[in-house]
Amino acid sequence: MEDPPAEFGECSKDSEVAPALIAVHPSQDSVAVAVGSDLRVFDLRCSEKRVTAVAISNGGLYVCFADKFGVVWIVKLDGLDGENVVIKKADPMLSHYCSIITSLEFSPDGKYVVSADRDFKIRVTVFPKKPLDGAHEIQSFCLGHTEFVSCLAFVCTQEYPQGFLVSGSGDSTVRLWDIPSGSLLNTCEIGEKAGLLESNDGETECCSAVTDLCTSLDGSLVAVAVQRQVPEYSLLQGIVILNCDLSSRTLSHAKVVSICGGTFIPTSLRTCSATGLLWMVTGVSDLHVSEHPSLARVRVISGFRKSNPDSHQHEPLLLEDNEIPAGTKLLEKLQGSLSYSEEDFLAAAEAVKKAMSNLLIKKQYSAENREFRKRTRNDKKGKP
């Protein structure tokens, strides 16, 4: 019998960062929201299955999370006073029929909840007035990716408040979608445009999978995390910055912000709209080969906002640790340590690659093994 997939690690947020921030526990046991000095944490372990994606509704009234069998659950957050621990029952809202859901997002207008899976699909579901009773109306499907869909984000402007969807995938592309119709508007080849597919010997076959993305507040920029894969190696060359022009419905390559070393593979990207900072974290939990069982490393890129094309003053730039807000005090709080050995980072990078591969890449089984897994799958436990 096969071993279960590896779980993700741990991350938290520090209340000294003034803009509102959200963080998801990399093993996705909880969701934390920091607003000024107020830190609110919601426990998601009421799910019987491993959580693979999380989203909070625009008004903060609901949290949705998906389990490894493709079911999206919903919890209503009213009645939480922030002081006492309250265990609330989750209700099933929709299903992707046994395909692992990799990302969940609410549309900017709150009309839709969008879910992506590792079977290349993006589903747009109308968010109902009574979501605890289930969401049964499918608005559209966004189809076009040829590998797992790893991440979703919305871009919107004052001219386009309803927003457009951007998605990243293992097929080395970021795509722009109109979600009411499911129409594909534009495709940006990340590996080709950023030059990440070129190997040293010019012959080694490699692939660049998009692992996460996020957008600037004005919708003009998209930051893309890439995991580059070649035989026996998996190296992140940097964060790819894309220009997003909603008037022409296009995505275009702007810049690659290099990150030294191949051991920093971001598991999550988030942006701070007030300062134009792009926050990145890599990390894992249960790292048994290291003296640090839960390892996290935070990096920050400045200039994640649209600037004058003729000006280089605000171009995206990787900050040194002493240049980020609150400096070493923030890092010590979020990381648990200011420094890790190279051996620990190598072990963490291997664990991240394995966890992402287990989550995103669908394994191929023989017909006999498929039938055996159907008979022994544990989501049937407890059912009559």
The top-scoring range by mean pLDDT among 5-14, 45-54, 273-282, 374-383 is: 273-282
Mean pLDDT, all residues of the chain: 76
Helix or strand or coil: residue 132?
A: helix
* Residue 307 pLDDT > 60: no
Model confidence band, residue 196 (pLDDT cutoffs 50, 70, 90): very low
Q: What is the pLDDT of residue 190?
A: 86
The C-alpha atoms of residue 132 and residue 205 are separated, in whole angstroms, by 47
Give the lowest-confidence range in 77-81, 232-236, 255-259.
232-236
Q: What is the pLDDT of residue 129?
A: 92
Mention every residue, 6+ apart, whose C-beta is less than 8 A from residue 152.
Answer: 103, 104, 105, 114, 116, 122, 165, 166, 167, 168
Q: Which domains does the chain have, with CATH numbers?
A: 18-140 (2.130.10.10), 190-357 (no CATH)
Tokens of 356: 């992402």
Q: Which residue has the higher pLDDT, 353 or 255?
A: 255
- Which percentage of the chain shows pLDDT scores above 70? 62
Inter-residue contact 221 to 238 (CB < 8 Å): no
Q: Tell me what the mean pLDDT of segment 283-297 comes to.
A: 66
Tokens of 308: 């004058």
The C-alpha atoms of residue 364 and residue 1 are separated, in whole angstroms, by 15
Model confidence band, residue 266 (pLDDT cutoffs 50, 70, 90): confident
Q: Catalogue the long-range contacts made by 82-88 (C-beta closer than 8 Å, 24 or more residues apart).
A: 82/38, 82/40, 85/43, 87/43, 87/46, 88/46
Q: What is the pLDDT of residue 139?
A: 97
The C-alpha atoms of residue 57 and residue 46 are separated, in whole angstroms, by 19
Length of the chain: 384
Inter-residue contact 290 to 283 (CB < 8 Å): no
Model confidence band, residue 197 (pLDDT cutoffs 50, 70, 90): very low
Q: What per-residue string of b and e applies to 56-87 under the rule 16 or more CB within 10 Å gives b?
A: bbeeeebbbbbbbbbbbbbbbbeeeeeeeeee
Give the lowest-confidence range in 117-121, 182-186, 214-218, 329-333.
329-333
